[in-house]
Amino acid sequence: MPEHELAFTGIAEAGALLRAGKVSSVELTEAAIAQAERLQPTLNAFITETHEQARDAARRADADFAAGIDRGPLQGIPVALKDLCATKGVRTTAGSAVLADWVPDFDATVVRKLAEGGAVSLGKLNLHEFAYGVTSANEHFGVVRNPWDTERIPGGSSGGSGSAVAAGICAGAIGSDTGGSIRIPAALCGITGLMPTYGRVSRAGVVPLSWSLDHVGPLTRSVEDAALFLNAIAGFDPADGSSLDEPWFDAAEGIGAPVEGLRVGVVRQQFELADDDVRQAADGALKELESLGMRLHEVELPLLMQARALPILGIEAAAYHAEWLRARPEDYSDEVRTLLLWGATFSGVDYVNALRVRREFTEQVEAAMREVDVLVMPTCPSVASRITEIESGVARFAGLTAPWDHTGQPVLSVPCGFGDGGMPVGLSFAGRPFEEALIGRAGHAYQQATDWHLQRPAMAVSS
């Protein structure tokens, strides 16, 4: 197998090869490192690479396989971590100057769970400063590039996660989503992103942006891989006050299950907010869903436009950053500092009113989802814009994603075609809380019927 094909082996497939003895974790890891060494100088997906630790972890995984020890589907698989996950002994910057020299003495719960599952981490991925900001550049650690067109943004805030997974540097990566930061880079980089149900994945040790909106979850190349990755990091964690003590579940249980008769709610308003090229791709996906036997229904959500403009994220971010912002304002970029100061201008009454709209919108979605099983919509209104276009920021890209951070429900983004400039387009499936398996069922069936998720950026497969 050529090295770049090994690099593009996904979690499910690599797991089968590892267990059949057809490939070793060391081989997978060396292919990943080779891919990183070749592409990182261009993409800048990583802030910190930990290749030697990765090699050690790969050897341990191979020793475990040899000894008959199986820690689960992530064992031996190359992954990477958005650099707001605390890593013991490895600098954790959150993309900021404030934490540029922070070396935690503990692992975030998701990092510990990945290690316990035998995953091989290649390092810490670039992101927007503190996962905030509306433009694409990270002033402190440089701009991340999209492997489909290196003059374009990968989307944010988990831009390094999107870029590295799309480029075949790793099979999956941790991202976090507060207004769309998993789903946007997944869509713009042509990969799969899964924002789990709020409270499903621990945030302990993950630098917060907004406590009531932050979700930690995976970016991978397939729905099946996203489900396997989620299984490895999910679960109740008393160290996270928002963690939910729910019974264990299998996010992958819907993979391969039939989808005939599944009721799909089309959020037409989101289609109308999208550019023509995006809408065309998403309309094509609707036809595909119908041809798979799913039944389409139109869904109206009158509060959708209000839900995308709520100040909750800004206010909560201002609360988290208040002390640093007073003590060392010069360590923030102008842009993030301005956003945080903007968040601080809201009153308690504004916040209460926003929470009320949030609840009403959530009730509207709940009511709509009594009639349908999943909702579908374009993930972003546009394909990835050029790095030089300042208006290409998160603000516009997050318009279609942000409402869904407020409801606590899981959303899965999958590639559904290509738009202007040959850039990928993403389609989102939103489920009821705790129904990751159901949206995975729909998304996997869609991926089986199409091959958008198997397309590779040219730079990543040429040698």
Cβ count within 10 A of residue 412? 34
The residue from 121, 181, 210, 333 that is catalytic is: 181
The residue among 346 and 418 lying less far from a second copy, judged by its C-beta, is 346
Q: Shortest gap between Cβ of 406 and a second copy (angstroms)?
A: 14
The span from the CA of 29 to the CA of 405, in Å, is 34
The span from the CA of 121 to the CA of 77, in Å, is 8
The span from the CA of 176 to the CA of 252, in Å, is 20
338 binds a second copy (CB under 8 A): no
Question: Does residue 80 contact residue 91 with C-beta atoms inside 8 Å?
Answer: no
The residue among 295 and 356 lying less far from a second copy, judged by its C-beta, is 356
Helix (H, G, I), strand (E, B) or coil at 112: helix
Binding-residue pattern over the window 186 to 215 for a second copy, x denoting contact by CB under 8 A: -------------------------x----
Q: Shortest gap between Cβ of 349 and a second copy (angstroms)?
A: 4
Q: Shortest gap between Cβ of 358 and a second copy (angstroms)?
A: 11
Q: Shortest gap between Cβ of 237 and a second copy (angstroms)?
A: 13
Q: Which of 100, 143, 296, 319 binds a second copy (CB under 8 A)?
A: 319
The residue from 82, 136, 222, 333 that is catalytic is: 82
Helix (H, G, I), strand (E, B) or coil at 296: strand
Binding-residue pattern over the window 274 to 313 for a second copy, x denoting contact by CB under 8 A: -------------------------------------x--
* Spatial CB neighbours of 277, under 8 Å, sequence gap ≥ 6: 383, 419, 420, 425
Best CA proximity match to 114, nearest among 157, 174, 70: 174
The residue among 231 and 364 lying less far from a second copy, judged by its C-beta, is 364
Q: Under rule CB under 8 A, which residues in 223-252 are in contact with a second copy?
A: 241
The span from the CA of 150 to the CA of 34, in Å, is 19
Cα Rg, the chain, nearest whole Å? 20
Residue 371, amino acid: E
Helix H or strand E encompassing 46:
strand 46-49
462 binds a second copy (CB under 8 A): no
Q: Shortest gap between Cβ of 354 and a second copy (angstroms)?
A: 8
The residue among 323 and 330 lying less far from a second copy, judged by its C-beta, is 323
User: Where on the phi/psi map is residue 2: left (φ > 0), alpha (ψ -120 to 50), or beta?
Assistant: beta
List the strands of the sheet with 424-430, edge to edge. Answer: 46-49, 120-125, 78-82, 172-177, 215-220, 192-195, 411-418, 424-430, 374-378, 263-266, 295-298
Q: Which of 64, 70, 350, 420 binds a second copy (CB under 8 A)?
A: 350
418 binds a second copy (CB under 8 A): no
The span from the CA of 414 to the CA of 220, in Å, is 10
318 binds a second copy (CB under 8 A): yes
DSSP codes, 173-187: EEEEESSSTTHHHHH
**Region from 1-9, 81-89, 347-355, 391-399 binding a second copy, contact rule CB under 8 A:** 347-355
Provide the residue count of the chain: 463
46, two tokens? 């990583």
Bridge partners (DSSP) of residue 427 are 378, 414
Could you tell me how far CA 291 lies from the centroid of its own chain? 28
Active site residue 82: yes
**How many CA atoms lie within 13 Å of 170's alpha carbon, on the beta-carbon side?**
35
Cβ count within 10 A of residue 274? 23
Active site residue 113: no
Question: Does residue 160 contact residue 45 with C-beta atoms inside 8 Å?
Answer: yes
329 binds a second copy (CB under 8 A): no
360 binds a second copy (CB under 8 A): yes
433 binds a second copy (CB under 8 A): no
**Region from 67-75, 152-160, 251-259, 345-353 binding a second copy, contact rule CB under 8 A:** 345-353
Q: Shortest gap between Cβ of 113 and a second copy (angstroms)?
A: 22
Active site residue 181: yes
363 binds a second copy (CB under 8 A): yes
179 binds a second copy (CB under 8 A): no
Q: Which of 107, 288, 316, 436 binds a second copy (CB under 8 A)?
A: 316
Q: Which of 20, 68, 327, 347 binds a second copy (CB under 8 A)?
A: 347
Q: Under rule CB under 8 A, which residues in 62-121 are in contact with a second copy?
A: none
372 binds a second copy (CB under 8 A): no
Q: Which residues are catalytic?
A: 82, 157, 181
Per CB under 8 A, residues contacting a second copy are 211, 241, 311, 315-316, 318-319, 322, 343-344, 346-353, 356, 359-360, 363
